[in-house]
Every structure is written in C-alpha cells, then in structure tokens.
Chain A
Amino acid sequence: MKLNKKGEFNFVLIFAIVAGSMILLLAIYGAVKAGSGLQKQTEFELAKSLDIITNPLQAGFAEGSTSRITFRRDTRINNECDTDSKFGENVISVQTKASVGQAWTDNPGEYKIFNKYLFSNFQEGKTFYVYSKPFYTGYKVTDLIFMSTEDYCFVFPPKEIEEEVSGLNVPNIGLQLEEGNNTCSDGAKKICFGTSGCEITVKGECSESRCSSAYDFGYITDENGTRTYYSGSLIYAALLSDKNVYECNVKRLLYRSSRVADILSRKIDLMSMRGCSSLLKTDLDKFAIILQNASAKDLESVYYLANDLEKKNLREGGCKLW
C-alpha cells in the first residue's frame, strides 16, 4: 500500500514535470519567435522610415542639405544596389541590436528604394549623418543622398570643396587646410587631395579650359589601389560608398538622366507649336541614346557633353528648356 502511494505520487510528479516543462518550453519558444518577429517588423519599419525621412533631403532648389538620424539602439544599415529593373534600386536592410539573445537578426528584411540614389557603406552605429547634393548632366537629374557614421578628414582640399564642405556643415567631415586650420577629429579617415600619405587619395584630371576646377572629374584611389572615376558631386558619392554601390548607382543615374533628356526633347515639340522652337532637340536625342547604357567609365565624355548642352540651352534665351 505504501509502495502504491509512492508509485502514484511519482507518476503524478513525473507527469506534471514533463507536461509542465513542455508547456514552458513551448511558451519560451513562442515568446522568442514573437520577439524576433517584432524585431523584424521594427527593422522593416525603420527601413521604410529611412526612405520617408530622406525625402526632404531631395533638396529642391537648394545646393545641398544635411541631416542626422539617431537611433535608440546600435543599428546596422546595409545598402546594396542593383540594376535589374530599368531604373534600378537601392536595397536597404536595417538590423537593430537586441538586448537579449542573438545580438543581430539573421536575414534582415529588405526594403527597395527605386527613386533615390543612396550612397553608403555597410555601417553600424547610433548616429548616421545624411546629406544630399544635386546631380546635373547639364540639367538637374536628382539629388544624391550620402549616409555615413564614420569620421572623415579632407587633407588640403581645393578651395571649392573646402567651401562646399563648410557650407554643408557636415559634422563628420573635418578639414585640414594648408593655412594650418584643422577641424579633423582623431581617428578620422584621411582623404588627400593631390598629395599622398592618406587612406584615400583624390586626383583631379580636368585640365582643359572648359573645366572650372581640376577636380571637376578625376580618380579616387583607396588603400587597396582601387581606382574609382567620379565627376562633379559624385566625388562625395565615390568617397563615401563601396565601389559596387557607387558604380551601380552611377549607371542608374545616367539612365535616369537619359529619360529626362527624352522628356526635354519631347517638350521641344510641344513648345515649338507655341512659337518657342529650340535647336537642342538633336543634341538631346543623341545625349539620351549615349546615356541609356552609359556607366562610370563614360563620366568624362558625359561631363563634356553636359557642359555643351548647358551652354547651348543658355543661348536659347526665353525659350530655354530648363
């Protein structure tokens, strides 16, 4: 009888322990899954918010604008670019650091941005500096958006870049000037203009009389010896992003520019019906065809063609196209 009671007690206890622990495990599993689901939801919302937040940075008529995005937790922002569709896209994924369990989520949700040109590296931090500069190929095509957490130091930049950086008032880009002024922070990534001894070197290649500065276009060489070609405001794009992202975005930009050229060419037909004819139609049609499949290596010829177009448009007087 005593034995029976003991056996009965043991069975009830074992049954309770097994069933109880199963329920507990199921509850923990459910909670963890729900938690990671919520984290993914938050990350996707952050990626979408990044798209919305950067809308005002499409500067309108301004020559540039600066902003800062601060997250409550350490955040990783990965930016990829592809040209699968006609206009291509930036694919943004955001990961926030979890306080319990696995720090970073696997397979973060991706958010595609089709109408922006975002230049950045893979970055981690709480504060991200975002700024924009317009991109022209004779006419304005769009505003380029740059995003970085890292500190940069421009060593002996040319006057126009010095003024541009000072005007933009970007907190994470310091200047080391020939006159002795130095606003660079310790540990900032050094970028030399024309001189050597930095992690990144910029070499201006524009030597013709048509150039307003030697740095209108040229090469950027990093510590691995990778050379990246830039033109105009793309200098910041080439400095602040991966070579792949940069070249992919440049291809997207040039395609977009070709579409704008096509619209401007069609606009001439409508304008001429109201007595406002233009001599630019042939040039714009040719330019649109060249840009359609152009890439970063074509930037030098695009620069000269764009300059010529701009000058011709100014000569159109009241009937100018842009």
Chain B
Amino acid sequence: MVEMNKLADMKIMQMTFMILFVFIFFTFAGLFFLSIQSGKIAENFNNLQRESAISSVETISNMPELNCDSSRTMCLDEDKVITFATISKSYKNFWPVASIRVRKVFPMNVKNIRCPAANCSYYEVYNSNQTNVVEYGTFVSICKAVRNEGVVQEICELGRLDVGVKISS
C-alpha cells in the first residue's frame, strides 16, 4: 500500500514537473515573441519617422509661412524665415518634426553663425530640443526682394532645408 502511494506520488510529481515545464516553455516562447515584436515596433516607428521627415521636407518648404509664393516650389522667402523663426514656438506640435533648420550653402560662409546676424550662415527655424534627432534635408532657394536704384530685384541664394525627426534609440 505504502509502495503504491509512493508510486502515485511519483506520478503526480512527474506530471507536475511536466506541466511546469510546458508552462515555462510557453512563457519563454511568449517572451521571445514579445521581444521580436517590440523590436519590430521600434523599427517600424523609426521607418515611419524617417518617411515622415522625408515627405515633410517638401511640405514644409511649400508652407505659406515660409515659401516665396504658391507658384514656386522649394523656394524659401528669407523675410518669412526670419519672421517665422521668432514666432515658431507658437507652432509647437504643428509639425510632425523635431527641428527645422535653414542653412545658406552658396555663397558659402565658413563661420557657423546663427541668423539674423552679419555674415550669418544658418536659421534655427524651429527646435523642440529633443534628443536622438536625425536630420534629412533638401536644397532650396532662399530669396528676398530688394529695391536697387528704383528697380525691384529678387536676390536668391542656395540653401539647404534640414528637418529633424526623433528616432527611438
């Protein structure tokens, strides 16, 4: 009788360990699946952010707050850029981006001076001060109207519009 009980105990122990093993196996399998999924979420997030930044570059350069006029693309109005840089904080959350910077490329200025200032080289249009920001950019014209000896001329420089997006580390 005692031997039989021992055998029964053994079988119950065997079964318990088996069930425990199966449970642990499924738990690890689940954790493995979740870690792959969370990796994919981060990857998808970064891809979407990248796509968003790239497609935003053209959209931002064509926004009426910055562009030369609606009949031209990839052209920034320097007066609007100067003005907008001072009020861009009120546009917080409006952009799907973390930063917007306009750099003068040609004529080239070696010094890295923030505009507006004499011989400046870049405009900090918007900066949300986020970390882990990757920038994507495109070349644009930076133009302004000047009256010279009674004649109105449009003076343009070559610039680069850089748009930054936050990516997950």
User: Of B58-66, B102-110, B124-132, which binds chain A?
Assistant: B58-66
Task: Check B64–A61 contact: CB distance below 8 A.
Answer: no
> A139: CB under 8 A from chain B?
yes
**CA–CA, A45 and B15, complex, Å:** 44
How far apart are B163's CB and chain A's nearest CB, in angstroms? Answer: 12
Choice from A5, A8, A87, A319 contacting B147 with Cβ under 8 Å:
A319
How far apart are B49's CB and chain A's nearest CB, in angstroms? Answer: 9
Task: Check B94–A87 contact: CB distance below 8 A.
Answer: yes
**CA–CA, A214 and B83, complex, Å:** 38
User: Of A69-77, A220-228, A238-246, A262-270, which binds chain B?
Assistant: A262-270
> A58: CB under 8 A from chain B?
yes
How far apart are B126's CB and chain A's nearest CB, in angstroms? Answer: 12
Choice from A16, A52, A275 contacting B52 with Cβ under 8 Å:
A52
How far apart are B144's CB and chain A's nearest CB, in angstroms? Answer: 7
- A26 cross-chain contacts in B, Cβ below 8 A: 26
Q: From B66, which residue of chain A is reached at the shortest CB distance? A: A263
Choice from A12, A55, A134, A274 contacting B144 with Cβ under 8 Å:
A274
Interface centre among A23, A274, A317 (most CB of B within 10 A): A274
> B112: CB under 8 A from chain A?
no
How far apart are B73's CB and chain A's nearest CB, in angstroms? Answer: 5
Task: Check B52–A48 contact: CB distance below 8 A.
Answer: yes
Also in contact, A263 and B80, with CB within 8 A (given A23-B19, A322-B70): yes
Q: Size band of the B side of the interface?
A: 35 or more
- A322 cross-chain contacts in B, Cβ below 8 A: 64, 69-70
Task: Check B73–A61 contact: CB distance below 8 A.
Answer: yes
How far apart are A6's CB and chain B's nearest CB, in angstroms? Answer: 12
Also in contact, A52 and B64, with CB within 8 A (given A61-B71, A114-B93, A134-B70): no
- B48 cross-chain contacts in A, Cβ below 8 A: 45, 48-49, 52
Name the 4 nearest CB pairs between A and B, nearest first.
Answer: A318-B152, A275-B147, A140-B70, A55-B55
Question: Beyond A38-B37, A55-B52, A276-B145: 19 further Cβ-contacts under 8 Å?
Answer: A4-B1, A8-B11, A12-B15, A20-B19, A23-B22, A23-B26, A34-B33, A34-B34, A55-B59, A58-B59, A60-B73, A61-B73, A140-B69, A259-B65, A260-B64, A267-B79, A270-B82, A271-B145, A275-B147
